[in-house]
């Protein structure tokens, strides 16, 4: 028995020294390849658009970041629902990881959009329907992260966040359909709601390369963020165990004296 245990222990590969694994390295490699293609085509090879001119190069960043943000918010909503059903740490961590990454990508989307607006409209911001609903969406998910930062029992915190994660997703289709429902400055919905059907050749290639790169980076970040969150929970448990042990040792001599 001892020999078998020793053999199985020696067969285990060394524990990773971070959140990386073979899978994340492969995924990161693919993301990097698509990023290089996106930079080459988006900034240098693809021509200026007939209508948008060179500002189409901002759209090559604007569209992938918003799609990545939507994907992250959908993951948060699904995870939130699963948490309320299963009540496991996995779904709570996945939901919070998705919310954090979604906020990052959506904030970048808004900044990129503002820069595009400065060139096209002459101003960074207008309180028109798409932009206003986008601002509300961002604030809702910042609220999710704020609630998560409030000190509370982990189960209570997870339940509160799961409810917000489900409520907040309702705003995503509202943002997406805002250009159809209300008249505003933002350009209308196109292919998949984002990509211009008149786009072709190298422009389309640049757009899809950037889109694939954005989604791969989003998944790569999500895995790393999930694992970092998992490690933070384990470190927190260890801290709690250590505090309980110290408390037990403090009380032991007193008990001995009493006896």
Residue numbers at the binding site for another protein (CB under 8 A): 14-23, 39, 42-43, 53-55, 57-58, 61-62, 65, 101, 104-105, 107-108, 111-112, 115-116, 118-119, 217, 220-221, 224-225, 227-228, 231-232, 234-235, 238
Q: How far is the CB of 170 from another protein (least distance, A)?
A: 26
CA distances from 111 to 51, 59, 209 (A): 22, 12, 21
What's the CA gap between 112 and 130, in Å, rounded?
14
Question: For residues 148 and 225, which CB has a smaller minimum distance to another protein in the complex?
Answer: 225
Which is closer to another protein, CB of 118 or CB of 160? 118
Question: Tokens 């980076």 correspond to what residue?
Answer: 217
Residue 242 has which token pair? 């250590």
Three-class SS of residue 167?
A: helix
Dihedral sign for Cα atoms in the order 162, 164, 167, 171: negative
Q: C-beta of 57: minimal distance to another protein in Å?
A: 5
| Residue whose CB is less far from another protein, 123 or 139 | 123
166/222 with CB nearer another protein: 222
CB of 247 to another protein, least distance (A): 20
Distance between CA atoms of residues 134 and 66, nearest Å: 10
- Shortest CB 243 distance to another protein, Å: 14
Contacts of 177 (CB under 8 A, 6+ apart): 189
- How many angstroms separate the first and last alpha carbons of the chain? 43
State in angstroms the smallest separation of the CB of 30 from another protein.
15
Q: Which is nearer to another protein, 166 or 219 (CB)?
A: 219
Q: How far is the CB of 152 from another protein (least distance, A)?
A: 21
Contacts of 57 by beta carbon, 8 Å cutoff, 6+ apart: 42, 43, 46
- Can you tell me which residue has the tokens 């994907």? 71
| Closer to another protein by Cβ: residue 56 or 166 | 56
Distance CA 59, CA 213 (A): 14
């Amino acid at each position: 028995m001892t020999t078998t245990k020793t053999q199985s222990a020696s067969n285990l590969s060394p524990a990773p020294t971070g959140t990386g694994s073979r899978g994340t390295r492969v995924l990161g490699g693919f993301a990097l390849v698509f990023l290089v293609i996106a930079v080459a085509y988006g900034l240098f090879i693809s021509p200026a658009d007939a209508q948008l001119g060179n500002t189409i190069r901002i759209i090559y960043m604007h569209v992938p970041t918003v799609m990545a943000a939507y994907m992250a918010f959908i993951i948060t909503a699904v995870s939130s629902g699963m948490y309320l059903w299963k009540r496991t740490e996995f779904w709570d961590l996945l939901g919070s990881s998705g919310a954090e990454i979604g906020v990052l990508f959506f904030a970048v989307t808004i900044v990129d959009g503002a820069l595009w607006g400065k060139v096209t409209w002459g101003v960074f911001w207008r309180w028109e329907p798409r932009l206003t609903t986008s601002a509300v969406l961002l604030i809702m998910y910042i609220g999710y992260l704020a609630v998560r930062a409030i000190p509370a029992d982990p189960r209570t915190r997870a339940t509160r966040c799961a409810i917000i994660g489900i409520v907040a997703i309702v705003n995503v289709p509202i943002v997406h359909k805002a250009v159809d429902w209300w008249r505003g400055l933002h350009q209308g919905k196109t292919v998949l709601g984002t990509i211009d059907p008149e786009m072709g050749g190298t422009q389309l290639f640049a757009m899809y390369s950037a889109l694939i790169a954005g989604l791969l980076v989003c998944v790569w970040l999500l895995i790393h963020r999930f694992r970092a969150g998992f490690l933070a929970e384990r470190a927190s448990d260890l801290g709690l165990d250590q505090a309980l042990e110290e408390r037990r040792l403090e009380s032991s001599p007193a008990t001995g004296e009493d006896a």
